[in-house]
Chain A
């Protein structure tokens, strides 16, 4: 038996979480370095997955399979396709930056916190989330995936509710109440989605007799496993609802601004750049593969919801007064693009959507983490409390601008490639929807540049006049992310090469072919 690379990649951060949590209370710094060490080992393993994975080879590679709950046919079954590899890479890459950015976020406050070893807990929880997210990108057993999908809510809940942003208006009690509200809202939304999915998972078992994604998909493709149209549709809806809450898709999005606003910036990145990707990833992997006909049946409605997300999210971002909530609504708009790309059912749309997941992760991390550095300096999340930062902290302002430009999908930076692919892929099949979605690029420029203008330009506000520029630790976080945004904008081929074959498989699952160009079709 070969080395279980996939299990190892998820196990390392899980072990790291336990080890970090076990570090004695006084050795806070040691715990931080330990956590960072484990996250870097995970990154090495993720890179190894990328090296070992052969694009154009079998659909699922590096597979592992063990019996788990034999009576239900539940198996511990892992395997990755190119999409999984890309997203594992994104997760493993972002976590070290999240840890570094949050280096002091959980230090005990001067007032004396009574929390039980908060620092160790903070770092351990982040690693725990990483482990579960990575494993969920690897799981090819539906039940195993469901367990992970639900279980990752637990550490996320504590991260949001237990470690809030210290920059808040009003009293500590009020802030704590808001934080609890945000954490519970996050939990309830996702649990409700998860419970509906559980029903669908059980339903799937009743119909198919096992939980293996590969077996069910093969049986569906060969015609061995027939489903009544209505059954397929109900099951699809059950799965899709859970993923749409997590993604999040309009109108199920309202938990995200609360969660991202109240959490610390690194945790906000964890939510939107990493955890939410499980939702869109699962749409591609489970909805389209298991329920191809129902997916096509639901496509028009989903495209309309995605389009609403794009425009609505962007308009709300324009209207925000809180920096972090603005980024949250921008993300809602971007998730609209991802979902639109998936359901456009074209190679460009789905490759673009996958690439979008990666690029959105990097660009949001860059923007949000710099925003976090900014907020921690001034102690306020309100846009109106800033002004003229560019003059006193030019490097901070410069990196913030690059993050904003990535958010508005400037050509030359990574998000442009994916956004254009999604637009062109959608336009090829649904011209009207593609054209309306292009309004998103104007609105994105509006909210990004307005944010930059109000915080960074103009006369220097007295409260920011003594603001220090980025420290070395902060530069170490931001510079690689910016380098990556430029690299993937100029040379996205390494990622597209990974993703293209997987997208080809998915399209053949749903029996769709790309529309031919008019000139070629005429010949």
Chain B
């Protein structure tokens, strides 16, 4: 069985290679090849999963060693895979949702002349993401980690002729590189501390070193997670990443890649468990981001950017849960999976809306679409109910557990703070999602003909697009409940992540009740603001907070002034310094020895050749003299 693990990666990798090198002759079949290989990878995943279920909980992990990758004295990096319950969960999510999104893209990208290449990139993404979650050491994980970054770069910038897309792609890669520094340094610290960076040996020997080292490693891993998972302070790229085609936003920038940070922290649980300070930092980052993303989500009129804010916020929940230790890991992953279903579904729904609305993304120009797109409306609506945590649906089960665990951070004030933040986030979530729902599907139609007189004619999308939405809607409704039956999900992950029951500072029924109350308050407020009166087509000026939130709470402005402008000045002045000072000083010093600069100046007058010849003459004489010495 373990020999099949490599196939998970090999199938989509083959697809990427064939599609990207195959040339135009594959234009007509490329999307089928890509989809087939994605589904093949999913089939292998299911096969491995059923096999795993047949074994008892402690003996489910599989290992496959392929070859020695970088053998250098004292340094051992292998290409080897590890498939345990945590990896398996990701494999099914990635290949499952991934296959659905391949199918959806067949219809969505139908009119794009570069569709073959799009599927090549999607396959490349699957291969890299699978490598990330089945690697058995941090360095190989790093390969997958940057591989998904590359796929994300290529897909955000897929419509390269748009300068905004090219800029967004570059920004995403660069911000992620800052996070990658963290991963690099973490691996280097592991190497100097443990002499290895394979998961098994590192996580087992955590007890042999001091807390200081572990805290440092933990913080560096957190930096990496912040980049990939768009957490404050490295969150600024995610909103811009919506420049990519919408299936990409669904697969990469909502369901899978952006959750890699949660995987990294959960996988490194043993390190964080032994480093409470690092854990606290994780929880704070998660708490800050979940509010930050939610506020941004409230102000955006672009449907995809509103959903991007929401993604940031939901991943904030997961990061917060992962920072709580054994009481939170399982719930972080559970929310990750349910979020994968409903957020992918919401994005595909948004894509379906755009598809019917001539690629319009401004929700102020939607309105009343439920009549024109019934399937999209129902599936999107179920995703909406799931994400706000409507009792019984997926989000309710997973998010509620995180709120409980947050209240159990400790017995004192911190438990109240983090629990309160998580609860508040639930309210804001209900607010911004209700706003999206109302502005898109309810009220009167607000679209108008554009300058050339083209009026959108909203219509339902083709089957290849609606079927994946329906499948994901099923997941949004039932997954959470299914996972919570007998705590089956928690028990499934327990051998890998450990599990302790949280003991919140207030009773569980009270938390559940307040969650529902907060939810109703948020949704009700949104109804009052957007459902009771017509939505203006042009955005009102808004309060100071709204205006700041529209600009992503001014982080881009900060980056622009400090990093971009500052950097430009720095490099420009360095170029000047290099031309004048460094060059000048070195030439000048040399001139002191041999009149070099005077001669250099002569060159401009055309003495170059003669000068060079004289230099060669000198060298030749030198060599000749040496040879002559031999004769003497």
Chains A and B come from one and the same complex: yes
Q: Which residues of A contact B (CB under 8 A)?
A: 69-72, 147, 150-151, 154, 157, 161, 177, 180-181, 183-185, 187-188, 191-192, 250-252, 254, 312, 315-316, 318-320, 347-348, 351-352, 388, 390-391, 398, 405, 410-412, 416-417, 420-421, 423-424, 427-428, 431, 434-435, 438-439, 441-442, 445-446, 449-450, 453, 456-460, 490-493, 496-497, 500, 503-504, 514-520, 522
Chain B residues in 8 Å Cβ range of A348: 72-75
How does the 8 Å CB contact mask read for B150-165 relative to A, with 1 for contact and 0 for none?
A: 1001000100111101
Interface contact B74-A347, CB-CB below 8 Å: yes
Count of B residues near A, CB < 8 Å?
A: 82
What's the least CB distance linking A253 to chain B, in Å?
8
Question: 18 A–B contact pairs at CB < 8 A?
Answer: A69-B626, A161-B612, A188-B590, A254-B578, A411-B142, A411-B143, A431-B192, A438-B184, A441-B177, A442-B178, A453-B166, A456-B160, A460-B161, A490-B69, A490-B79, A517-B191, A519-B194, A519-B209
Interface contact B209-A411, CB-CB below 8 Å: no
What's the least CB distance linking B388 to chain A, in Å?
38
A457-B181 contact in complex given A391-B161, A496-B70, C-beta closer than 8 Å:
no
Chain B residues in 8 Å Cβ range of A515: 192
With beta carbons under 8 angstroms apart, the residue of A71, A151, A312, A450 that contacts B629 is A71
How does the 8 Å CB contact mask read for B578-608 relative to A, with 1 for contact and 0 for none?
A: 1000110110001001101001100110101
Q: What is the bound-complex CA distance between A438 and B187, given in angstroms?
A: 12
With beta carbons under 8 angstroms apart, the residue of A320, A442, A516, A518 that contacts B575 is A320
Interface contact B574-A177, CB-CB below 8 Å: no
Chain B residues in 8 Å Cβ range of A188: 590, 596, 599-600, 615
With beta carbons under 8 angstroms apart, the residue of A192, A405, A517 that contacts B192 is A517
How does the 8 Å CB contact mask read for B174-191 relative to A, with 1 for contact and 0 for none?
A: 100110110011011101
Q: What is the bound-complex CA distance between A445 and B593, given in angstroms?
A: 40
How does the 8 Å CB contact mask read for B66-89 relative to A, with 1 for contact and 0 for none?
A: 011111111100010000000000
Q: What is the bound-complex CA distance between A315 and B571, given in angstroms?
A: 6
Indicate whether B370 reaches chain A with its CB closer than 8 angstroms: no
What's the least CB distance linking B565 to chain A, in Å?
14
Given contacts A493-B67, A518-B209, 8 further A-B contacts (CB under 8 A): A72-B630, A181-B604, A187-B612, A251-B585, A391-B161, A411-B143, A520-B195, A522-B208
Interface contact B166-A457, CB-CB below 8 Å: yes
Interface contact A518-B192, CB-CB below 8 Å: yes
Chain A residues in 8 Å Cβ range of B157: 457
What's the least CB distance linking A81 to chain B, in Å?
15
Interface contact A347-B73, CB-CB below 8 Å: yes
Interface contact B608-A184, CB-CB below 8 Å: yes
Q: Which among A71, A250, A424, A497 has the greatest number of chain B C-beta atoms within 10 A?
A: A424
A458-B596 contact in complex given A71-B630, A405-B150, C-beta closer than 8 Å:
no
With beta carbons under 8 angstroms apart, the residue of A181, A316, A446, A520 that contacts B608 is A181
Q: Which residues of B contact A (CB under 8 A)?
A: 20, 67-75, 79, 139, 142-143, 145-147, 150, 153, 157, 160-163, 165-167, 170, 173-174, 177-178, 180-181, 184-185, 187-189, 191-196, 205, 208-209, 213, 567, 570-572, 574-575, 578, 582-583, 585-586, 590, 593-594, 596, 599-600, 603-604, 606, 608-609, 611-612, 615-616, 619, 623, 626-627, 629-630, 632
What's the least CB distance linking A280 to chain B, in Å?
18
Interface contact B192-A504, CB-CB below 8 Å: no
Chain B residues in 8 Å Cβ range of A151: 619
What's the least CB distance linking A321 to chain B, in Å?
9
Q: What is the bound-complex CA distance between A456 and B169, given in angstroms?
A: 13
What's the least CB distance linking A481 to chain B, in Å?
15
What's the least CB distance linking A471 to chain B, in Å?
15
A411-B571 contact in complex given A347-B73, A496-B72, A518-B193, C-beta closer than 8 Å:
no
A143 to chain B: closest residue by CB: B626
Interface contact B150-A254, CB-CB below 8 Å: no
Interface contact B612-A517, CB-CB below 8 Å: no
Interface contact A184-B600, CB-CB below 8 Å: yes
Chain B residues in 8 Å Cβ range of A388: 161
Interface contact A445-B74, CB-CB below 8 Å: no
Chain A residues in 8 Å Cβ range of B627: 69
Chain B residues in 8 Å Cβ range of A180: 603, 606, 608-609
Interface contact B73-A493, CB-CB below 8 Å: no
Interface contact A177-B143, CB-CB below 8 Å: no
B605 to chain A: closest residue by CB: A177
What's the least CB distance linking A359 to chain B, in Å?
12
Q: What is the bound-complex CA distance between A351 and B77, given in angstroms?
A: 14
Chain A residues in 8 Å Cβ range of B604: 177, 181
